[in-house]
Amino acid sequence: MSKKLILLFFLSCLFAMGQSKNSKLDSYISRKGIYEIKYNPEKWIRTESSDWDVQFHDKYNLVNVYFIEYDYFITDKKLKSTIEDEYKEFGKIKNLKITKKKINDLMVNYFECELDYNDTLYKYQGFVYNGKGGSIQMQFGAQAEAIEQNQNIIDELNNGISIIK
């Protein structure tokens, strides 16, 4: 059974790589000019935001993505409380997990959590990175089913972020 799962994962990765090479990518440059997010406009629609630097949503408007570049650092010690504060107006988050993860050349604090809002389960995931000029945060949010079904395009957008050299 595990060999079949590994084969399926490998084949899906090959398929995803083949698809992304044929697609024309667009890019967003952060307001400080430090970070670039490359994305596929056939999968993601970019909009400006008053609360975040930029927002994206998938073409079905199920998954929302938020990116912000802070003028300060979010320390590892304050990370959990910072994430909890972001969601407190919607309710208490559950199952918050924070792990170190490498995205391109960035070692980030990757988080995943759940929120029961109006009897609907939402899942959020994303990362905080402390780099040149302060911290950045990118987060993905949607109903639990939408996150699970769209994990491949979430990972693709995550892997589109890089530091401009």
88 CB neighbour count, 10 Å cutoff: 9
Q: What is the pLDDT of residues 139-149, one digit of tens each?
A: 999 999 999 99
111-129 mean pLDDT: 94
**For 15-50, what is the HEC assignment?**
HHHHHHHHCCCEEEECCCCCEEEEECCCCEEEEECC
Least confident window among 20-24, 35-39, 69-73, 161-165? 20-24
Q: What CATH code is assigned to 24-163?
A: 3.40.1000.10
Model pTM score: 0.82
Average pLDDT taken over every residue of the chain: 87
Residue 50 pLDDT: 81
Region label for 89, one of left (φ > 0), alpha (ψ between -120 and 50) or beta (otherwise):
alpha
The answer on pLDDT for 95 being more than 80 is yes
Q: What is the pLDDT of residues 32-89, one digit of tens each?
A: 999 999 999 999 999 987 889 999 999 999 999 999 999 999 999 999 999 999 998 8
Spell out the domain ranges in the chain: 24-163
